[in-house]
Amino acid sequence: MLKNRVRELRARFRFTQQDLADNIKVSRQTIGLIEKGDYAPSITLALKMAEVFQVSVEEIFYLEGEDLC
């Protein structure tokens, strides 16, 4: 399952869901879905988020609970 730290990073930057959405040109609803794990972002969107948060994609998104081999 794809997990993420979007909510945590938003809090660190003091962004609302709308602030982040505006920065990466998506809807606030998309950010909410990503945070809940109901939507897996495209590579392009993940890279945009990483740029905004100034971290690597791997620091935002990670796999949990799956056999990775």
Q: Spell out the SS3 assignment of 13-51.
A: HCCCHHHHHHHHCCCHHHHHHHHHCCCCCCHHHHHHHHH
Domain 2-53, CATH 1.10.260.40 — does that match? yes
pTM of the model: 0.89
Note the pLDDT of residue 47.
Answer: 98
Mean pLDDT, contiguous 10-residue spans, the chain (69 residues): 96 98 98 97 98 98 77
Note the pLDDT of residue 68.
Answer: 59
Instruction: Return the domain boundaries, the chain.
Output: 2-53
